[in-house]
Amino acid sequence: MNQNEKILITGASGKTGSRIAKRLTDLGYAIRTAGRGKSLPNGANEHVIFDWFDESTHEAALKDVDKLYLVGPIAVMDPSEIVMPFLERALKTGVRRIVLLGSASIPEEGPVFGKIHRAIRELAPEWAVLRPSYFMQNFVDSHGAQILNDGTIVSATGSGRVGFVDADDIAEVGVRALTDKQPHNTDHIITGPDSLTYAEAGDIIGAAAGRTIRHVNVPTQELANRFMAFGMPQDYARFLAGMDEDIRLYGKEDLVTDTVERITGRPPKSLKKFAEEHAANWKTAK
């Protein structure tokens, strides 16, 4: 790829967008980060204010852009209504390669990302969809406070298994999808090297932190209520809790793929190694 081409990174403060932006910057690519904040994430060489719900911010974000990393609006059940006009504008203004962040659980035509997945496949000259399993970083972020405070991980997954994956590995696949000379033109299901229950994940994290970490399984509706208590819209809270239920009942995330090693040339990080690197986040105060 010509390193003078401009790559737009939406969701630039998120788990994958921030990592992709930093990696591309380190490699010498011309990038523009876009987000609601005014700062320049990870030393990006150009940043614009961007809000999915404010179309007046879209034109500046897309100016002179050749490739696009697309992270849709958060907690919206049908983001296609918001994203599709932006995609159409992007393609009209010269964007030719689009890489979308999706989910391993959500195929083309599925809820949330499905319509956007299909549109990118049909409309973009060059494309890829990243479909990662659950992020290992969730154990630091969304589960982190509860692990630290009472040594528990709460989910509705029961004994269902998940191919937890490090966001660094997801980002590296994204970097390759954006920069490889040959467009990928496919979707990538991205997992770590192991499919684990939350109880097994708790054991791994506990071993690294030097304490007991237990998995607490709750009913699907109780999990949805927890999400809503944090301000999540009811429909999206029920959807997320339903994803846990699908893991418990149907093994929806019981996957291990070779995507990371096949695309990047290196194996994905294990949860054991991740836990050892982040153990300080879960150790109780002395």
Could you tell me which residue, 40 or 151, shows the higher pLDDT? 151
CA 83 remoteness from chain centre: 17
Identify the three-state secondary structure at position 130. strand
Residue 126: predicted pLDDT: 98
pTM: 0.95
Beta-sheet strand order (sheet of 30-35):
47-49, 30-35, 6-9, 67-70, 97-101, 126-132, 186-190
Domains, the chain: 6-132 (3.40.50.720), 135-165+191-255+269-286 (3.90.25.10)
Tell me how far apart the alpha carbons of residues 251 and 162 are, in angstroms, rounded to a whole number.
8
Q: Which of these, 188, 210, 200, lies nearest to 283 by C-alpha position? A: 210
Residue 284: predicted pLDDT: 80
Q: Give the CA radius of gyration of the chain.
A: 19
Q: pLDDT per residue over 200-248, tens digit each? A: 999 999 999 999 999 999 999 999 999 999 999 999 999 999 999 999 9
Whether the Cβ atoms of residue 66 and residue 95 lie closer than 8 Å to each other:
yes
